[in-house]
Amino acid sequence: MTVYAALDVSMDKAAICVMDASGRILLEAVAPSDPDAITRCLAPYGAELELVGFEAGPLSEWLYRGLQDAGMTVVLMENRQVRAALSAMVMKTDRNDARGMAQLLRSGWFRPVHVKAIPAREQRTLLTARSTLMRRQKDIENSVRGLLKGFGLRLGRLLRGRWDDAV
């Protein structure tokens, strides 16, 4: 028997819906948003589990890799497409969203999202952190320049090494 599992993931918990190929719901549960907890919840369906799917979000890469390491076939679904498919639902709850996503997995009506490789993700994280630090440093320098102007002190464009001495 082929089984599909969908997760509606939030920061604290994940609503889980396991559905067979005919559309019968086998399990509806809530687990912590942690790969190990979700793996334990899905363990009884291990051999029959065809696909595990959830929307791309803040925890998605971590959950994706954790579930993949546990031997599951995992897919991230595009947010806009899932939102459009689930927008017709009357009762919007995590449980119903998981149920709707399980239907999308079962029918194949979803677009997968590419998950970046870990080295690419690490490089992007470093570049983003550097960019944030550079912006903050510039904001502080501009703030100090503005405060000093009130006292008649005007700082020109200074290089980083001479900034401390000039201030």
The type of residue at 144 is: V
Q: So what's the pLDDT on residue 161?
A: 65
Q: What per-residue confidence (pLDDT) applies to 152? A: 87
Per-residue pLDDT tens over the stretch 127-139:
999 999 999 988 9
Cα–Cα distance measured from residue 105 to residue 3, given in angstroms and rounded to the nearest whole number:
10
Four-way CATH pick for 3-107: 3.20.20.70, 3.20.20.60, 3.40.50.970, 3.30.420.40 = 3.30.420.40
The structural domains of the chain, with segments of one domain joined by +, span: 3-107, 118-166
For 110-119, write each residue's pLDDT tens digit. Answer: 889 898 898 9
pLDDT above 70: residue 158 = no
DSSP codes joined into one string, 95-106: HHHHHHHHHHHH
Share of the chain above pLDDT 70, in %: 96
Over residues 47-93, the pLDDT tens digits come to 899 999 999 888 999 999 999 999 999 999 998 888 888 888 778 88
Q: Could you tell me the strand order of the sheet in which 49-55 lies?
A: 25-32, 13-20, 3-9, 49-55, 74-77
Mean pLDDT of the chain: 90
pLDDT of residue 160: 63
Q: How far apart are CA 1 and CA 18, in angstroms?
A: 12
What is the pTM for the complete model shown? Answer: 0.78
Assess contact for 39 and 67: CB atoms under 8 A.
yes
> Long-range contacts for 14-19 (Cβ within 8 Å, ≥24 apart)?
14/38, 14/54, 14/63, 15/93, 15/94, 15/95, 15/97, 15/98, 16/41, 16/42, 16/98, 17/95, 17/98, 17/99, 17/101, 17/102, 18/42, 18/45, 18/102, 19/99, 19/102, 19/103, 19/105, 19/106
**CA triplet 9, 13, 15: central angle to 5 degrees?**
60
| Two tokens, residue 106 | 């079962």
Band of pLDDT at residue 159, cut at 50, 70 and 90: low
- Does 32 score more than 70 pLDDT? yes
Q: For residues 38 and 58, what is the distance between their CA atoms, to the nearest angstrom? A: 17
